[in-house]
Chains A and B, each alone.
Chain A
Amino acid sequence: MRYARTVIVVGAIALGLLLGAALDPQGLPWVGSERLSAVFLLDGQAYFGHLEDTPFSGTIVLRDVYYINDASKVTTDLPVGLLKRGSELHQPVDTMYIRRDRVLAIERVTASSPIGLAIAGQRALDRGTK
C-alpha cells in the first residue's frame, strides 16, 4: 500500500515536470538565465518586464516594467528612449495587470539586445555599480 502511494506521488511529480518541460523548459523555476518578456498591446504600446501568465486568468501580470518613449527631440543615438515605470505622476508600484484580450503578442527579450542591455545597465546603476 505504501509502495503504491509512493509510485503515485513520484509518477505525478514526474508527469508534471514532463508536461512543464514540454511547454517551456526555460519556464521552470531556477532554470536558465533571466526571462524578460516584451508585451505588445493592440494600441501599439509595448511593455518589458517579468511576465506572470497564470492560466484561467483574465489578466497577465508584468513586474519590473519598462517602456519605450519617443526621443526624436533628444540627442540620443536612437530616436527612442527607455523609461522605467514608476516615475509617472501617480507613481505606480512595480506590478502591472494587463487585460489578456488587449495583448497582441508576447515575445522573449534577448539579454544581449539593446533593451536587455539597457535594463541590465539600469540595474547596475541602481545597485551603485561604479
Chain B
Amino acid sequence: MTRRPAPDSIRISRRTVRIGITVAVVLLALLAIVGLAMAARANEPVTIASTAQIQVQQAAAERDIERAYEQSGEQVSKVHALNLPISAAQADQIALKALTDLRTLRHSAFLSLGQVMSMAAAEAETYATATDTRFDQAPVAKQTASPSPVLLAPRFYSIVARMSELATLLADQATTQLTAPPPSSSPSPAPSGSARPSASPSPTR
C-alpha cells in the first residue's frame, strides 16, 4: 500500500530540506556564540577594593590635601615675613584672610572626602572637623615616617587636584597683594634728565 500525496499538496525536495536545516543550525550556532559572549561580558569578574584598601586610599588623600594646605600656608607666611611695600597692618590683614580661606578650603576638601565615602552630611562634617584637628596637632611636614606612595582612585584624585589648584591660587593671590606697591595718592614727579644719575658713568681721566 503506497501513500500518494494529495493533488493540491506542496512537494519539497530533500535537498531543499537539508539546506534549510543547515542554515537553521548555523543561525542557532551564531546566536549561541553571541549569547555566550554577552553572558561572559555581563558576568566578567571585577575586583572591588576592600575596606582596608579604601582606608589606605583615604589616608593618602587626607595627607595630600593637608600637604596642599601646608605648602600654600607656608608660602603666605614666608612672603608675610619679608620686608613688604605695604604697611604691617595691611600685610597682617591680607595674610590672615589668606590663611583663613585656606583653612576653609581644607575643611571643604575633607567634607568632600567624607561625602565620597558615602557619609551622611552630619557625619561628614564631624569627620572633616576631626581631621582638621588631627592635622593641626600633627602636620604632615613634621611627620618623620613617610608611608609608601599611593595612586589615588579617580574620585579621591579629583578632590585632591581641586584642593591643590585652589590652594595655589589663594596663596598666589595673597602673594600678589602682599608684594604689590601701595597705590600712591599724589602723582609722582616726572624725572628730569639732569637729576638722574647716569647708568654707565663715563670714565674720567
Contacts and interface: CB of A to CB of B under 8 A. Distances in A.
B interface, over-half SS: helix
A122 B47 contact: no
Nearest to B118: A128
Interface of A: 29-30, 32-35, 50, 52, 66, 71, 73-78, 80-84, 111, 114-130
Interface in B32-62: 36, 39-41, 43-51, 53-54, 57, 60
9 contacts: A29-B39, A30-B40, A35-B44, A74-B161, A76-B161, A81-B161, A82-B151, A111-B47, A117-B151
Contacts of A78: 149-151
A81 B53 contact: no
B152 A82 contact: yes
A91 B136 CA distance: 39
- Residue among A29, A50, A115 with max Cβ neighbours from chain B (10 Å): A29
Given A73-B165, A123-B46, A129-B49, 10 more contacts: A29-B43, A32-B45, A34-B46, A71-B161, A74-B160, A75-B160, A120-B47, A121-B152, A123-B47, A125-B156
A118 B164 contact: no
Contacts of A120: 47-49, 53
A76 B51 contact: no
Contacts of A77: 60, 63-64, 149-151
A86 to B, nearest CB: 10
A33 B50 CA distance: 15
- How big is chain B's contact interface, by range? 35 or more
Given A71-B157, A82-B157, A76 B152 contact: yes
A123 B49 contact: yes
A33 B48 CA distance: 11
A35 B43 CA distance: 12
Contact of A125 (B45, B68, B117): B117
B153 A119 contact: yes
Interface of B: 36, 39-41, 43-51, 53-54, 57, 60, 63-65, 67-68, 71, 116-119, 149-158, 160-161, 163-165, 168
Contact of B43 (A30, A71, A76): A30
B157 A81 contact: yes
A76 B160 contact: yes
A118 B153 contact: yes
Contact of B54 (A116, A119, A129): A129
Contacts of B47: 33-34, 111, 116, 119-120, 123
